[in-house]
Amino acid sequence: MRLQLFQDILDLNQAFDRVVQGLQRMEKLKLFHSEELRYAHAEVESARVEANREFFENLHSIVERDARWVDRYRREYDRRLKDPFDLYLEVKEREEVRRKKGLPPRVVLLPGWDKDDEQQAAAQRARKGKRAAKKHRKTAKKRVPHSAKTASHLPTGVSPMS
């Protein structure tokens, strides 16, 4: 929310108050016709009401826009914090309620499933992958340059360039 908007409407209302106080002081001095001053006072109050009405009508749209932004921000924040296992627990709970009501299941849950199973399986796969990569590096033959191959097949004392 924009604090400056509230400060501006407060300043405007304080200015209207100063004008009204000035009109009231002028009325006490008896220099002006009281009827004219009361009419001016009514005009000032009318202008104040219209300004406040306009502000609060526009404020509604600003608040709604800010509320939508906050809602999106909060949903995204909650989504990031939510544990995926919580979804499993929610589904399991709902399916239990359906079963108690005698309704057929909508989802088939694996019996004895635990989130740690998946974490352990992922860790095992990672270890196997590292072992396989390590084994592959050990068994890989080092390549011999082509010129070295041809030189090894030549009779002794003959150079490959001759």
Q: Tell me the per-residue pLDDT of 40-82, one tens digit each, with 9 for 90 and over.
A: 999 999 999 999 999 988 888 888 998 999 999 999 988 888 7
Cα-Cα-Cα-Cα torsion 7, 8, 11, 13, nearest 10 degrees, comes to: -110
Q: What is the DSSP letter of 2?
A: -
Most confidently predicted of 20-29, 111-120, 121-130: 20-29
> Residue 162 — very low, low, confident or very high, per pLDDT cuts 50/70/90?
very low
pLDDT of 61 reads 87
With residues binned 3-state (H G I as helix, E B as strand, rest as coil), the percentages for the chain, rounded to 5, are: 75, 0, 25
Amino acid letter, 2: R
Q: What is the DSSP letter of 109?
A: P
> Residue 121 — very low, low, confident or very high, per pLDDT cuts 50/70/90?
confident
Q: What is the DSSP letter of 141?
A: P
Q: What average pLDDT does range 86-115 have in this prediction?
A: 84
Residue 4, CA distances (Å) to 10, 41, 154 in order: 10, 28, 91
pLDDT of 28 reads 87
pTM higher than the cut 0.75: no
Per the CB < 8 A criterion, the answer to whether 122 and 128 are in contact is no
93/95 Cα distance (integer angstroms):
5
Residue 54, CA distances (Å) to 43, 63, 145 in order: 16, 14, 85
Length of the chain: 162
Q: Where are the domains of the chain?
A: 3-81, 84-135
